[in-house]
Chain A
C-alpha cells in the first residue's frame, strides 16, 4: 500500500552501453552499478565479453572480431541472446531493478534488437554512449585494463596493443553512433572525450535523471581520497556511543600525527572535510589548513541510546539491542537513524567526492563504514561490520576498475570501538550472550 522509500522508477530499466572498444564502457558500467547498489537500487552488470570468454575458451587474436567471420558472428549473437535471457531472469526472479548491458552495441541493428526485446518485456531502455577520439586516452585505457585481460595472458605488451588496435578497427567500419536526429525518440546520454561534453536526450524518469547527474560528476583525473575517524574521544574511552565530546589526550596526539602524516604525503591541493561535531573539528584543527564542516558527515544518531554504553543499552533496551544485531543495516534507533538513513544522508557527500580530486575526510565510525562501502563495493550486509579502527588512515586510489586501499596506522594507542555481531541475536538471549563481543573500555 505504501513504499518506505521514494519510487525511483516503476518498471525495470536496461542501461545499454554503446561505443568502440577501449572507450570506458566497462569502467562506467562497473562504477555506475556500484553507485546504484549503494543508494539501494539493485543493479547488475552483464558484460558480453565475459559471455564470449566462457564460450570461446581461448582467445587467439583479433580475427575473431572481423566482420566477415561468420562463425564468430554466430557465437557473438548467441552470447548476446544469452545475456538478454539472464537480464530477464534478473528482473523477474531476482528482484533486480537495473541491468547494465555492457557491450559495444555499435550497430543500429543490434540496438534495435535490444529495444524490441525490452519493449516486449516492458523494460525501459537508457543508452550510455562513450565517444572518444583522443589516441592518448585510448592507449592509456588499453594499458590500464586490456593488457591484463584474460584474452592477453599469453601475449607480450607490444603484441597485445597491436592486436587490440586491430580489434577496434574491426568495429569502426560498422559503427553507427547514436544520432540526435535519427535516434531522437530514444533516451540516452552521449559522453564526449571523458566528460568535456554531454548530449542528453529524453530523460524519462527519476532514476535516469540520477544516472545522468552521476555520470556528469565523475572524472578520471588521478587523485586519492583519505578517510579517517576523529582522534580518540573522551566518550570513546568510556565505551559510550554518540555524543559530542572533545578529544582525549591520545586523540590529540593522533591529530598531530595525522598532520605530520598528511604533510609527509605531499598532497597537491588537498581539501579537508569534517563533520559538525567537536571531535572531528579538533582533529582537523591540528592540520593547520582550512577545512569545511559538513553536517551530513555527523555520526549516526543513536536517538534514545545516545551516550550510553552497550551494557546500558542491553540493560534498558534489550529488545532493541537484539533487533539491531538481527539487521544492523536497516535497524533504526528509536528517535534516531539507521545505516540505511546514513547512506541516504551521505549521498551528496559521495557526489561531491566524485567531483573533487584530493580530499581528506575526517569523520566517524558508522559514517566511514558507509563511505568505504561505496568505494569498495561492499554489500548492505557487510557495511555495518567493516573495520574502521581509530587512529588509522585509509588511502583510496582509483585503479583500473576498482580502488586501491592503503592502510596507515599512525602508531598512537586507542581503544577498540568495533563490536562484532554476536552469535546469538535472538531477543530471548541472555545479557552475557548479547555483550559477548563488546570491546573493552573504562
Chain B
C-alpha cells in the first residue's frame, strides 16, 4: 500500500509528501516532486513571534538603558533571534561632530531639538530597514524616549510598518547608582574626551536635569494598553504590563534575572583526559596523570583567588567531576553542561571520522555551527541546551564552571558576543582558566594558563572543505596525538 493508492481512494486529499533528511542539520523536511526540499514548514525550534518586534527603552540619562540594550541584544542574538540596537546618541554624535556642553539638551534649544528629532527619525528609518529588508527580528531603539509625544511617534511608526512594540523603562533615584553609572560609562564617552572628571560629571548632571522636567514615566493607568516592563531601582521591583507573545515573555524573564552586582565567572575545561591524549572525541573517560595535576593546580589557583561564596558547577561526565573533586569544595552537576554528543562519531579520532564518514566530515567543515552529527548534536543544539545555564549564571555571583571544549565555546560566545560563525572556532585550550568580569558595557577577560602541559585539541577549519577533497586536505589541521 503506497501513498498514491491511498490518495485515489479519498477525494480531495493531497499526496503525502516524501521526507528527505537535510544532510547538514539532519532535519526531516518534505521534498517536492522534484526531490528538492520544500521550505513550506517552519523549521525554527519555536516560533518566537509572528512579526518583528521593536523594543523601546525609556528613562532619564544614566539609568542603564544602553547597558540593558546591549546585554539584551547579545542574549537574543545568542539564542538565534537576529537583533540589533540603534543608539540615538550615536546618530547625534555623527550629526553634531563636537559636543560642547549640556546646553545642547536644553528643552528651549530649538536648534538642538530639531537635530535630535532628525536623529531619532534617521534611527527609526534604519530600524525599518533592518526589520523589513535585512531579516532582523528584534530592533532595540535605545534613547531616552521620556515624553509621551515621542513614544506616540514611535507607536505610529511601528503600526504603519506592522511591528510590535515593547517598552523597557528604567527608573532609578538612588544617587549612588547614578553616580557609579556616570563614572563607569559616561566619562569615557566621546562627548567628554576633552573634559576632566569633575567637569564631565557636573555637565552630565545638568544634562539629566534638562530631561527631568518633561519626563513622563510610563503610567499604569494612562499606558495600560501598552506592552512594557518598568524596572525600578536596578531590579528591586518590576511592573510588567500586557506581555503579548513568546519573545516578550523571554525578554521579561531575562531582564528579571540579570543584576549588576560585581562578580567574576571562571570558565575552564576538565583536566586532560585519557581520550584527549589518544586524539579521540567525546566519550566519558577519566583524567590522565597530567589532567590530575591540573586539577590540583586548579584547586590551588582557586584558593589563591580568595573568591567570596564561590559556586562550582560541573557536567555529569567523569572528567569534569574528577577535576572538581580536587578543588575540594561542594559542586553541582548539570547534565546540560555535558559535552556535545558526537553521535556515531563518539570516541573516534578525526582520522577515523575521515575514513568512515568523509561526507559528514566535509559537511561539518562547511558549517560547523549548524552541522549535527548523525544521532548526535550540533553547536546550535548545544546553545539551546545551555540557555538555562546562562540564565542561572546571570542570577548567580561568583561561579566556576568546569566543562568541555564545545560547551565552553558556546558559553564564551555568549559573554564575548561572538557570532555563530566564530563560535565553533573559539580557542579554549586545556589547562587554561578564563576569568570573565563584567565591565562597563562588556566583559573583561583574563586568561590564566596553569602551566601543566596538555595536548592541543583545537582543530582549525582546513582550506579545502569540499566533499571531493583528499584525505590529507581534510586532516591538514588535526592536532597531534598518540
367-425 of chain B: CB within 8 A of chain A: 375, 381, 384, 392, 395
CB contact between B381 and one of A202, A278, A291, A295 (< 8 Å): that residue? A295
Report whether B384 and A295 are in contact in the complex, using a CB–CB cutoff of 8 Å. yes
206-242 of chain A: CB within 8 A of chain B: 206, 209, 212-213, 216-217
A270 close to B (CB within 8 Å)? no
Quote the shortest CB–CB distance from A127 to chain B (angstroms): 13
Of all chain A residues, which has the CB nearest B321?
A2
Quote the shortest CB–CB distance from B372 to chain A (angstroms): 9
Report whether B256 and A6 are in contact in the complex, using a CB–CB cutoff of 8 Å. no
Q: Which of A74-82, A159-167, A279-287, A413-421 contacts B (4 or more CB under 8 A)?
A: A279-287
Report whether A200 and B240 are in contact in the complex, using a CB–CB cutoff of 8 Å. yes
Contact residues on B (Cβ < 8 Å of other chain), bracket:
35 or more
Interface size counted on chain A using CB atoms at 8 A: 51
CB contact between A2 and one of B10, B43, B330 (< 8 Å): that residue? B330
A199 close to B (CB within 8 Å)? yes
193-208 of chain A: CB within 8 A of chain B: 196-203, 206
Of all chain B residues, which has the CB nearest A286?
B16
Q: A-side binding surface: helix, strand, loop or mixed?
A: mixed
CB contact between B256 and one of A212, A253, A288, A306 (< 8 Å): that residue? A212
A180 close to B (CB within 8 Å)? yes
A264 surroundings in chain B (CB, below 8 A): none
B104 close to A (CB within 8 Å)? no
Chain B 190-234: CB-based contact to A (< 8 A → 1; otherwise 0)? 000000000000000000000000000000100010000000000
CB contact between A255 and one of B16, B41, B47, B249 (< 8 Å): that residue? B16
B17 surroundings in chain A (CB, below 8 A): 285
Cα(A2)–Cα(B220), bound, Å? 46
A19 close to B (CB within 8 Å)? no
Report whether A3 and B332 are in contact in the complex, using a CB–CB cutoff of 8 Å. yes
Report whether A278 and B45 are in contact in the complex, using a CB–CB cutoff of 8 Å. no
Cα(A182)–Cα(B343), bound, Å? 57
Report whether A206 and B249 are in contact in the complex, using a CB–CB cutoff of 8 Å. no
Report whether B332 and A7 are in contact in the complex, using a CB–CB cutoff of 8 Å. yes
A213 surroundings in chain B (CB, below 8 A): 249, 253, 256
Chain B 8-46: CB-based contact to A (< 8 A → 1; otherwise 0)? 001001101101010000111010000000001111111
Report whether A294 and B236 are in contact in the complex, using a CB–CB cutoff of 8 Å. no
A212 surroundings in chain B (CB, below 8 A): 256
Contacts A2-B330, A355-B246 given: A293-B41 contact, CB under 8 Å?
yes
Report whether A198 and B19 are in contact in the complex, using a CB–CB cutoff of 8 Å. no
Contacts A197-B239, A341-B335 given: A209-B257 contact, CB under 8 Å?
yes
Report whether A252 and B19 are in contact in the complex, using a CB–CB cutoff of 8 Å. no
Report whether A276 and B27 are in contact in the complex, using a CB–CB cutoff of 8 Å. yes
Report whether A201 and B237 are in contact in the complex, using a CB–CB cutoff of 8 Å. yes
Cα(A172)–Cα(B316), bound, Å? 53
Quote the shortest CB–CB distance from B227 to chain A (angstroms): 10
Of all chain B residues, which has the CB nearest A344?
B335
Quote the shortest CB–CB distance from B85 to chain A (angstroms): 24
B40 surroundings in chain A (CB, below 8 A): 290
B354 close to A (CB within 8 Å)? no
Report whether A281 and B19 are in contact in the complex, using a CB–CB cutoff of 8 Å. yes
Chain A 272-310: CB-based contact to B (< 8 A → 1; otherwise 0)? 000011100110011010111111100000000010000
Cα(A212)–Cα(B395), bound, Å? 14
Q: Which of A184, A199, A201, A246 has the most CB of B within 10 A?
A: A199
Of all chain B residues, which has the CB nearest A188?
B237
Q: Which of A281, A341, A352 has the most CB of B within 10 A?
A: A281
Cα(A256)–Cα(B11), bound, Å? 12
B452 close to A (CB within 8 Å)? no
A7 surroundings in chain B (CB, below 8 A): 332
Cα(A355)–Cα(B41), bound, Å? 21
A282 surroundings in chain B (CB, below 8 A): 16, 19
Cα(A103)–Cα(B171), bound, Å? 34
Cα(A3)–Cα(B242), bound, Å? 38
Quote the shortest CB–CB distance from A116 to chain B (angstroms): 23
Cα(A306)–Cα(B346), bound, Å? 15
Report whether B224 and A292 are in contact in the complex, using a CB–CB cutoff of 8 Å. no
Report whether A1 and B330 are in contact in the complex, using a CB–CB cutoff of 8 Å. yes
A249 close to B (CB within 8 Å)? yes
Report whether B238 and A197 are in contact in the complex, using a CB–CB cutoff of 8 Å. no
Report whether B19 and A292 are in contact in the complex, using a CB–CB cutoff of 8 Å. no
Quote the shortest CB–CB distance from A276 to chain B (angstroms): 6
Report whether B30 and A285 are in contact in the complex, using a CB–CB cutoff of 8 Å. yes
Report whether B1 and A249 are in contact in the complex, using a CB–CB cutoff of 8 Å. yes
Cα(A292)–Cα(B48), bound, Å? 11
CB contact between A197 and one of B1, B44, B242, B316 (< 8 Å): that residue? B242
B91 close to A (CB within 8 Å)? no
B252 close to A (CB within 8 Å)? yes
Give residues in B with beta carbon < 8 Å to A: 1, 3, 6, 10, 13-14, 16-17, 19, 21, 26-28, 30, 40-47, 220, 224, 236-243, 246, 249, 252-253, 256-257, 313, 316, 321, 324, 330-335, 346, 375, 381, 384, 392, 395
Enumerate the 8 nearest inter-chain pairs by beta-carbon distance, A residue then B residue, closest first. Answer: A198-B240, A200-B238, A249-B1, A201-B237, A281-B28, A197-B241, A213-B253, A278-B28
What are 13 A-B residue pairs whose CB atoms fall within 8 Å in the complex?
A201-B237, A206-B392, A216-B240, A255-B16, A256-B10, A256-B13, A276-B26, A281-B19, A285-B19, A294-B46, A335-B346, A352-B46, A355-B249
